[in-house]
Amino acid sequence: MELTQLWLPILLSAVFVFLASSIIWMALPHHKADIKVLPDEKALTEQLAKLDIPAGTYMWPNCGSGESQNSPEFKARMDAGPWGSINIIGCKPNFGANLGLVFLFYLVVGVCVAYITSQARVAGASCGSVFQVACATAILAYCAGGIPGGFFMGKPKRFMFTDFIDGVVYGLITAATFAWLWPAA
């Protein structure tokens, strides 16, 4: 089966997941507690502005190299804390461009799901068997990638769990779309 035969489920699954993610993030309450308000945001942002930190992701304490990892100074900083990570974006976020990139990601996931499912199932396969492969593939795509980085960057476990739940929902939506629109034999 050619991927071009699956353009409609690829496109519609991206649209449906985009709509679901919008509803999940804007209307449902389960992410409300994931991102906290700083106790003194103004003081922190003033200090960060003074430091003029270039865009990037930072983690502290940070030894900077393997050699200094065993130094007494670094070990003291590790023992003392605090520990954290911060992502400096460097410019005002472009919400429209970010939404476009998110939709593009959903399209890429759709293409990957289409490819793997088309290799595992033939045209005319039952809805259940298409759903099985598409669902496993989509859930892996939406859930697995961010978990290791979340552990290392100190992402709260609750936030990782709610992201995982969202990924399962997105995987189910993607799989249902592919099962519904799978080509006949």
The pLDDT confidence band at residue 145, using thresholds 50, 70 and 90, is confident
Report CA dihedral (56, 167, 35, 23) to the nearest 10 degrees: 120
pLDDT at 102 over 90: yes
pLDDT category at 94 given cuts 50, 70, 90 is very high
Which letter, b or e, does each residue of 110-140 get, where b requires 16 or more Cβ atoms within 10 Å of its Cβ?
Answer: beebbebbbeebeeebeeeebbbbbbbbbbb
Residue 88's φ and ψ, nearest 5 degrees, are -95, 115
Residue 53: what are its φ and ψ, rounded to 5°? -75, 130
Q: Which two tokens stand for residue 48?
A: 């960060």
What is the model's pTM?
A: 0.85
